[in-house]
Amino acid sequence: MKQQLENIKAEAIEEIRKAKDSLKLDEVRVKFLGKKGALTGILRSMGGLSPEERPIIGKLANEIREDIECALEEALKQVKEKEKMARLSLESIDITMPGRNRDIGNLHPITKVLDEIKEIFFGMGFSIAEGPEVELDYYNFEALNIPKNHPARDEQDTFYISDSVVLRTQTSPVQIRTMEKIKPPIRIIAPGRVYRSDAVDATHSPTFHQIEGLVVDKGITMANLYGTLDTFAKKFFGEKTRTRFRPHHFPFTEPSAEMDISCHVCDGKGCRVCKGSGWIEILGSGMVHPDVLRKGRIDPEVYSGFAFGLGLERIVMKKFEIDDIRLFYENDVRFLKQF
Amino acid sequence: MKVPYKWLCEYVNLDKNINEVADALTISGSKVEEVIEFGKEIDKVVTGKIIKTEKHPDADKLTICKVDVKDEVIQIVTGASNIKEGDIVPVALHGSSLPGGVKIKRGKLRGVESNGMLCSEVELGIANENSVHGIMILKEDTPIGEDIKKILGLEGGIIDFEITSNRADCFSVYGIAREAAATFDKELKKIETSFNETDESINDYLSVEVKSSLCRRYAARMIKDVKIGPSPEWMQEKLRQCDIRPINNIVDITNYVMLELGQPMHAFDYRYIKGKKIIVRTAQDDEKFKTLDGVERNLNSSMLVIADGERPIGIAGVMGGENSEIKEDTTEVIFECANFDGTNVRLTSKKLGLRTDASSKFEKDIDPNLIDIALNRACHLVELLGAGKVAKGVIDIYENKVVPYTLEVSPQWINNFLGVNIQKERMKKILENLEMKVKGDDVFKIEVPTFRQDVKIKEDVAEEIIRIYGYDKIPVKKILGETVEAQWTLEQMLIKKVKNVMVFCGLYEAMTYSFTSPKVFSLINLPENHELRNTVNILNPLGEDFSIMKTTGIPSILECLGRNYKRDNKEAKLFEITKVYIPSGNNLPNEYDKLIIGMYGKVDFFDLKGVIENLLNILGIDKAEFEREENNSIFHPGRTANLIVRKKNAGVLGEIHPDVAENYEIEDRAYIAEIDLKTLFEAAKNEKRYKPLPKFPAISRDIAMLVDENISVSELEKVILREGKELIESVKLFDVYKGKQIPEGLRSLAFSLTFRAEDRTLKDEEVNKVHESIILKLKEKFNAQLR
């Protein structure tokens, strides 16, 4: 009987070894360990054994059952692992097929760049101010030291609604409106649409965007103006950007300055984009004229300030190398998708 | 304004490369637009002597020359016929370049070797109307082997300045010289103005009367024994370089003085001045006058004229008259040197459409005291050129003399204001170089010359100092002082949210013009008397198409859709946040922000509605309803809804009416929404509060039924929710079917209902009871047949 048990074990181990899948293993389990299985048969026939033999054979039978179970378990684990590997390899997909995505739209390139600029100034403590686009002549011109018949009015060809109402030609009227509303310290930017009666072509549009800036406080200096704009230029155009301040004339600032940045295409060496000069003009600025502060009901003997204004379209065009301003207002989706 | 570099150097010893000077002047405030270097493109062109010529063996028109260029003798074949042995000519050597990017290389002409080219004036880019045809023959004593640029004086160039309107004093070569002198801290040379007078007095020939204050000063000199002829080449060359055509010695002198000093002048032929007098007066309305250019002008009383005893002989500050111009036989000349109101000259020249060199100078309001030096300079030039003799005396009518202005400023204040630290002595030197007189130490008392009308306040003085000291020396400083907190306004944040929702719903942001055509109202089917036809109008538009300010954003977005459709874009989904401008009865119109959505392609009404629902959701607006709108003529009567937010109409959304789509050439269904952002934002809830997650499970039930197709889903939903009482959590439509197997006039709708109680697990019996009552109500109210 002992031999019989040993044979069963050997037979079972051999069959387990041969079994290729979990189904076959289960058959083996039934064959040897099942109710009608070989080992079960032996155990049943143990009644015919002597009391001395019974525990010995019983023990051996149990050991063999455990061995077989163990072997089965081990084999099953291996087979399952193999099966899993096989399944995983079958499940391989072509990951180069396109993803399933929702159509997402896009912001207009002008909005994108404006948002970027807003964030930079926001970080420097500037809030966003606004003013009307249909504006009183007073705010657009008079209060900014541009009386009737001033030559600057010819330079900014103006759309008139009536004698005293214009489409604002610049965002600068927001300076006066802001000073009327809040007391210093003032630190704002005022982005918005402006209008000039320029006929439409690749570089001219009768409507475009400007960003005005205004800072008024005690002890504001021209060095603060330069510092602020230099910081802006480096954050927006990159840390390596060099800036150049040049004297200029605006009726509402004194002293006035234009700022150039080193050309980002040629790094200042001179190229087509910067017309060989190495510099690109990006904005006008200056110390707020004392008359303008007075118009904003601020005492120029106590406070000083600076202001600046930059044209957004020009910057966006430089940034993305767009050569025709009309594209901004055509809204062809093939254009809008690119940014 | 063009300034020849060599001319500039006559007044200030610059001793620098033209580009260095241009850069430095740009930085000190005279912005250079362009530097035109004469000989820039000419390279390796030298003078050479033709020592031998012979006919080309195979070509009648070609000549073989042996040319001595000092270091060697080279052979050149030329087609020119005006050369002979002994001539000294410009020779472009092998490897040389000429204007226009021309490169000269060694080669063979009809088999004979040619090692360069003999040049004409045209080829050197220096031709003028006196140029001869053929090779340029240089003077006999010209040294050979020299760079042609040196020989022809092509080493300089012209600097073109952009002069700002406040700097009338810089509109001349001498004005720029003054700037250059201050910039480089060099001496500014005086202008030669000496001359002799004859015994005859101008007063015996002429009297002048000024009848208008628009003429601030009027001075005149008389030139006798005039001999009209060409002016010398040096003068003509300078005029030409400044784009002025030489005419004759007298006229050229007036133009020369204008370029040199910035004071326009005019010369009248004395014999045509009737009544021996000049009267400066305003013109009569409809007075006719023929200007020098031969054009008859119609004058009016806003314009100032120079008249004689009978008629106008010039338009003040703009142009002289044909009736008194200098002719070849002119023998007596009156020089006018006057000062007119700048604004008046500008307006006159604008009204006449006649902008001249003179008017563009006068309109900047030049210094009346400039007349003294200018008139004397002109007389000096007359004598220098031998063009005539200056009669004794000057007529000078100058009532309100402009005198130097004095102001005070402390150097300390200037440093504080600029944020720099410049020594007092340095400041003084800068101001003195600009011809300002400075007294005092702790406080500067500054006398500003009359040609600097732009320097009036201490900030102006600060600018003068810093621009010469150098804007590039301004340090970078952070703003100190009280911290200012930046903040977005609620509206700014909400607009950001709106834009983000639109983008994530697959829409592209558009930007359109704020002005449009009055024709758009008919294009969108707007009734004749509709309030939106009341618009803000532009008095001077670019054309009718841009003549009114938008009162609705719909036409512009339709234009964009139309444009995309025309360009074969299969789909376009756009949005715009735009202002509309509604007349208010006050000075300024009301400006409202509108959200406009426009789409066509694989979309329908419910895609549009879905976008709006997403927006309402993100903005936290829960009390919004969509109400059927059948009477908006822009839209499809059966596919349009008004958005009602807190009982206010917040806008409209729907399919565009086929007639409107046709007007915009969109052969597809297009969907448009126009939403008023103010109404929306008033209802927006920025705060959200946490609601505990349900603790007990939900039970779902579906209802499928047939109902009359005119019964709306929202009516059914309302009844279901009402009957579901506190147990119903949500109702959701999941299927709609019309067609086969469904009787005409009915449609099949299927809803999924979810029931839940907050405090217990619901039992089937409870749910069944409520569900039954819902079904009962649906049957009773809508005659619904359960499926």
Residue type, A236: F
Do B579 and A207 touch, CB atoms closer than 8 A? Answer: no
Whether the predicted pLDDT of A292 surpasses 90: yes
- Per DSSP, A276 falls in state T
Q: What is the DSSP letter of A106?
A: B
Q: Which strands, in side-by-side order, build the sheet including A304-311?
A: A127-128, A186-195, A207-217, A304-311, A279-288, A253-262, A243-250
If you measure CA to CA, which chain A residue comes closest to B19? A277
Q: Which residues of A touch B468 (CB under 8 A)?
A: none
Question: Is the pLDDT assigned to residue B285 strictly greater than 80?
Answer: yes
**Calpha distance B656→B673 (Å, rounded):** 9
pLDDT of B275 above 80: yes
- What is the percent of chain B where pLDDT is above 90? 80
Query: How far from B308 is each of B224, B276, B278, B299, B345, CA to CA, in Å?
Result: 19, 7, 5, 16, 20
Cα distance between residue B558 and residue B565, in whole Å: 10
Q: Which residues of B touch A126 (CB under 8 A)?
A: 484, 486
- For helices A312-320 and A109-123, what crossing angle results, to 10°? 110
Q: Is the Cβ pair B540, A108 closer than 8 Å?
A: no
> Tokens 């704020």 belong to which residue?
B514
pLDDT at position A318 is 85
pLDDT at position B555 over 90? yes
Can you tell me whether residue A231 is helix, strand or coil? helix
Q: What is the pLDDT of residue A155?
A: 63
Report which of A191, A307, A224, A293 is spatially closest to residue B488, judged by C-alpha positions. Answer: A191
How close, in Å, is residue B602 to chain A by CA atoms? 12
Residue-level pLDDT at B129: 65
Q: Which residues of B touch A246 (CB under 8 A)?
A: 26-27, 29, 31, 471
Return the HEC string of chain A: CHHHHHHHHHHHHHHHHHCCCHHHHHHHHHHHHCCCCHHHHHHHHHHHCCCCHHHHHHHHHHHHHHHHHHHHHHHHHHHHHHHHHHHHHHCCCCCCCCCCCCCCCECCHHHHHHHHHHHHHHHCCCEECCCCCEEEHHHHCHHHCCCCCCHHHHHCCCCEEECCEEECCCCCHHHHHHHHHCCCCEEEEEEEEEECCCCCCCCCCCEEEEEEEEEEECCCCHHHHHHHHHHHHHHHHCCCCCEEEEEEEECCEEEEEEEEEECCCCCCCCCCCCCCCCEEEEEEEEEECHHHHHHCCCCCCCCEEEEEEEEHHHHHHHHHCCCCCCHHHHCCHHHHCCC
Position B751 scores a pLDDT of 95
Indicate the SS3 state at residue B279: strand
What pLDDT does residue B165 have?
83
Amino acid at A177: R
A127, B486: Cβ pair inside 8 Å?
yes
Q: Does B693 have pLDDT greater than 70?
A: yes
Helix or strand run (H / E) with residue B257:
helix B249-261
Give yes or no for residue B307 having a pLDDT over 80: yes
Q: Output helix, strand, coil percentages for chain A, rounded to the nearest 5.
A: 45, 20, 35
pLDDT at B697 over 90: yes
Per-residue pLDDT of B12-32, as tens digits, reads 998 888 888 998 999 999 988
More confident residue, B442 or B129: B442
- Residues in B closer than 8 angstroms to A122, CB to CB, are 486, 488
Q: Report yes or no: B546 and A200 within 8 Å, Cβ to Cβ.
A: no
Residue A20's pLDDT band (cuts 50, 70, 90): confident
Tell me, rounded to whole angstroms, the distance of Cα B345 from its chain centroid.
Answer: 23
To which H or E segment does residue B77 belong?
strand B73-78
Q: Does the pLDDT at position B413 exceed 90?
A: yes
CB spacing of B511 vs A257 below 8 angstroms: no
Helix intervals (H) in B545-647? 554-566, 605-619
Distances (CA, A) of B684 to B150, B676, B677, B688: 78, 13, 10, 11
Q: What is the pLDDT of residue B646?
A: 92
Q: How far apart are CA B21 and CA B184, in angstroms?
A: 9
Determine the pLDDT at residue A266. 82
**pLDDT, tens only, B357-401:** 999 999 989 999 999 999 999 999 999 999 999 999 999 999 999
Residue B457 to residue A290, Cβ atoms within 8 A: yes
Q: How far is A97 from chain B (nearest CA, A)?
A: 22
Cα–Cα dist B90/B272, whole Å: 49
* B515: nearest CA partner in chain A: A207
Confidence band of B41 (pLDDT split at 50, 70, 90): confident
- Which two three-digit tokens encode residue B333? 């000349």
* CA-only gyration radius of chain B, Å: 42
Per the model's pLDDT, the better-predicted residue between A66 and A155 turns out to be A66
Cis before B404? omega within 30: no
The answer, as to whether pTM is greater than 0.90, is: no
Q: What is the mean pLDDT of residues B57-69?
A: 90
- A-B contacts at Cβ under 8 angstroms: 238
Contacts of B515 in chain A (CB under 8 A): 159, 206-207
User: What secondary structure letter does DSSP report for B139?
Assistant: P
Provide the phi-psi class of B353: left if phi over 0, else alpha when psi is between -120 and 50, else beta. left
pLDDT at B485: 79
Tokens 């000078």, residue? B396
The mean predicted confidence, pLDDT, of chain B is 92
CA A167, CA A134: separation in Å to the nearest integer? 5
Q: Do B28 and A197 touch (CB under 8 A)?
A: no
Instruction: Report CB contact under 8 Å: B538, A161.
Output: yes
Residue A36 binned pLDDT confidence (cut-offs 50, 70, 90): confident
pLDDT digits (tens, 9 = 90+) for A301-334: 999 999 999 999 999 998 888 989 999 999 999 9
How close is the nearest chain A Cα to the Cα of B415, in Å? 9
**Using the beta-carbon criterion (under 8 Å), do B417 and A167 form an inter-chain contact?**
no
Above 90 in pLDDT, residue A17?
A: no
Q: Work out the end-to-end distance of chain A between its first and last CA atoms, rounded to an integer number of angstroms.
A: 86
- Whether the pLDDT of residue B594 is over 70: the answer is yes
pLDDT digits (tens, 9 = 90+) for B219-243: 999 999 999 999 998 999 899 989 9
**Which residues does chain A have within 8 Å of residue B538's beta carbon, measured at their own beta carbons?**
159-161, 167
Q: Which pLDDT belongs to residue B130?
A: 67
pLDDT of residue A47 exceeding 80:
no
pLDDT at A264: 76
Query: Does the beta-carbon distance from A223 to B567 stay under 8 Å?
Result: no
- Identify the pLDDT of residue B609: 96
**Could you give the CA distance from residue B431 to residue B745 in angstroms, rounded to a whole number?**
94
Residue B270 confidence (pLDDT): 95
Query: Hunting for tokens 């309107």 — which residue is that?
Result: B165
- DSSP letters for B503-514: HHTTPEE----S
| Amino acid in the structure at residue B240 | R
Instruction: Return the number of other C-beta atoms located less than 10 Å from residue A54's C-beta.
Output: 13
pLDDT at site A156: 64
The Cα of B366 is separated from the nearest Cα of chain A by a number of Å equal to 14
Please state the rounded mean pLDDT for residues B510-516. 96
Q: Alpha-carbon distance B75 to A24, whole Å?
A: 105
The stretch A107-130 carries a mean pLDDT of 95
pLDDT in tens, B331-366: 999 999 999 999 999 999 999 999 999 999 999 899
